[in-house]
Amino acid sequence: MSKRLPAAVLATAFATLIAFMGIGVVDPLLPLIGRAMGATPFQVEWLFTSYIAVMALTMLISGVLATRLGGRKVMLLGLSLVVFFSTLSGLSPSIEFLAFVRAGWGLGNAFFTSTALSIIVGASTGGIASAITLYEAALGLGIASGPLIGGFLGNITWRLPFFGTATLMLIAVIFSYFLVREPKREAPRSAKDLFRAMRYPAILINALIGLAYSYAFFTILAYSPLTLQGLSSIDLGITYFIWGILVGISSVFVVNWLRPKLGPVRLLQYNLFGLIAIFIAAGLVRGSSLLVVIVLSGFFCGISNALFTTLAMEVSPYSRSISSGTYNFLRWSGAALAPIMSGLIGQQLGMQIPFFIAALLLVVGVIALFVARPILERALLENGEPEASHSHHLATTTQSI
């Protein structure tokens, strides 16, 4: 197991888990914070949008910094910023201040996220596919456990989950400091390299379709808690914990099983069709039926998360940091729009309308994927790992986990 998963990989995966826990920890707190601070749905959704918007913008420089300062240094800086700003989140006196420090939290998470995947890929002995599988497993578990911790600690006070996240992240900083060593450093890059990478058709296509998907993903993660009226913070925490478990299971096990059979692009097409049906259903139902639909969406979200991330690394002829930074900048741009737009639209036009808008964006994404499929598959053949190799790497990583 240690041969497959070096200490640096395990420490980075643990930090990834805690970092993405910080995204989901706010989920069950949204109604509580809204009531405690007298905030509207539009104002509450700024807690996600400020966080994700800063993440997206920082992706333009975080990968570049990693090639100049080293991925380990940038990762540790990001983790330390998360500790600082998550602590300030728990001390926030107003919704405006909380949105501001959540932006700082997003800054730290961007420094970490852009380098974590690169470090895991660089330090892993199992190839790109196995490294990404581990990364997505940690991401899924983090997203799953965040709402659970937020729900139970938030039942005491909405401030406590922020302090809990800061404590766990401090542990991640310590582990990463002692266990993570700098993988082979890439040649120094500049921000121009990211924009140059965007001109590569396969990278741009995958990232733009990922942008549409990320909008839909954060409509579920950041907005849907406001539509589940009458649930306590604990109930919301359990709901999104189950959702996150499905994200993790499908991103690790289901993708490993289906990808060799269908190929990544065709599997992504089928999966997006499933998500479109899920979002249409979410717009039509209410109450317990809506809760079930939201939970089931986790299955499809996990598959999409793994496939988009894998394609981002494998269709690209560029270095790890440039590939990750380019994809994440565009992907998180879509994610940043979803919370605030959904909150505003839901407040003005009806709480179910944002689900239909997400479904429409996914339809656009599926059409684009259908048209661009030859370009993506050609890029996979030129730059990616052989499909048979994927099957082997994914299977061994699944067994290790």
Q: For 294-312, how does the pLDDT look when each residue is reduced to its tens digit (9 = 90+)?
A: 999 999 999 998 899 888 8
Instruction: With H, G, I as helix, E, B as strand and everything else as coil, classify residue 162.
Output: helix
Cα(388)–Cα(392) distance, integer angstroms = 7
Task: Answer whether residue 391 shows pLDDT above 50.
Answer: no
pLDDT band at 322 (very low <50, low <70, confident <90, very high): confident
Per-residue pLDDT, averaged over 45-60, amounts to: 85
Q: What is the predicted pLDDT for the residue at 301?
A: 94
DSSP symbols for 192-215: HHHHHHHTSHHHHHHHHHHHHHHH
Cα(73)–Cα(86) distance, integer angstroms = 20
Q: What is the predicted pLDDT for the residue at 127?
A: 60
- Kindly report the pTM of this predicted structure: 0.81
Share of the chain above pLDDT 90, in %: 36
List CB contacts of 116: < 8 A, sequence separation 6 or more: 12, 15, 16, 19, 75, 135
Cα(24)–Cα(12) distance, integer angstroms = 19
- Domain extent listing, the chain: 7-400
Q: What is the predicted pLDDT for the residue at 96?
A: 92
Q: Which residue has the tokens 């065709």?
A: 266
The C-alpha angle with vertex 97 and arms to 93 and 99, in degrees rounded to 5, equals 125
pLDDT band at 387 (very low <50, low <70, confident <90, very high): very low
Cα–Cα distances (Å) from 21 to 158, 266, 313, in that order, read 15, 30, 24
In words, the CATH class of domain 7-400 is: mainly alpha
Task: Answer whether residue 82 shows pLDDT above 50.
Answer: yes
Cα(342)–Cα(226) distance, integer angstroms = 10
User: Cβ(71)–Cβ(180) under 8 Å?
Assistant: no
Task: Answer whether residue 120 shows pLDDT above 60.
Answer: yes
Q: What is the predicted pLDDT for the residue at 113?
A: 78
Per-residue pLDDT, averaged over 189-202, amounts to: 80
Least confident piece of the model among 203-212, 308-317, 381-390: 381-390
Highest mean pLDDT among 117-126, 200-209, 358-367: 358-367
Task: Answer whether residue 397 shows pLDDT above 70.
Answer: no
Q: When comparing pLDDT for 302 and 386, which is higher?
A: 302
DSSP symbols for 221-257: IIIGGGGSTT--HHHHHHHHHHHHHHHHHIIIIIHHH
Task: Answer whether residue 393 shows pLDDT above 70.
Answer: no
Tell me the per-residue pLDDT of 230-279, one tens digit each, with 9 for 90 and over.
888 888 889 988 998 898 889 888 998 999 999 999 999 999 999 999 99
Q: What is the predicted pLDDT for the residue at 226?
A: 87
Per-residue pLDDT, averaged over 313-342, amounts to: 82
Q: What is the predicted pLDDT for the residue at 114?
A: 72
pLDDT band at 293 (very low <50, low <70, confident <90, very high): very high
Per-residue pLDDT, averaged over 121-144, amounts to: 71
Q: What is the predicted pLDDT for the residue at 187?
A: 67
Per-residue pLDDT, averaged over 164-181, amounts to: 88
Share of the chain above pLDDT 70, in %: 88
Task: Answer whether residue 125 shows pLDDT above 70.
Answer: no
Tell me the per-residue pLDDT of 153-172, one tens digit each, with 9 for 90 and over.
888 888 998 998 899 889 98
Task: Answer whether residue 390 shows pLDDT above 50.
Answer: no
Q: What is the predicted pLDDT for the residue at 124?
A: 66
40: its two tokens? 């509207």
Q: How many CA atoms does the CB half-sphere of 208 hold within 13 Å?
A: 16
Per-residue pLDDT, averaged over 324-353, amounts to: 87
List CB contacts of 51: < 8 A, sequence separation 6 or more: 23, 102, 103, 105, 106, 109
Indicate the average pLDDT of the chain: 84
Q: When comparing pLDDT for 395 and 189, which is higher?
A: 189
Cα(187)–Cα(68) distance, integer angstroms = 8
User: Cβ(187)–Cβ(67) under 8 Å?
Assistant: yes
Choose among 236, 220, 217: nearest CA to 31. 236
Per-residue pLDDT, averaged over 186-199, amounts to: 75
Per-residue pLDDT, averaged over 327-353, amounts to: 89
Task: Answer whether residue 150 shows pLDDT above 50.
Answer: yes
Q: What is the predicted pLDDT for the residue at 88?
A: 96
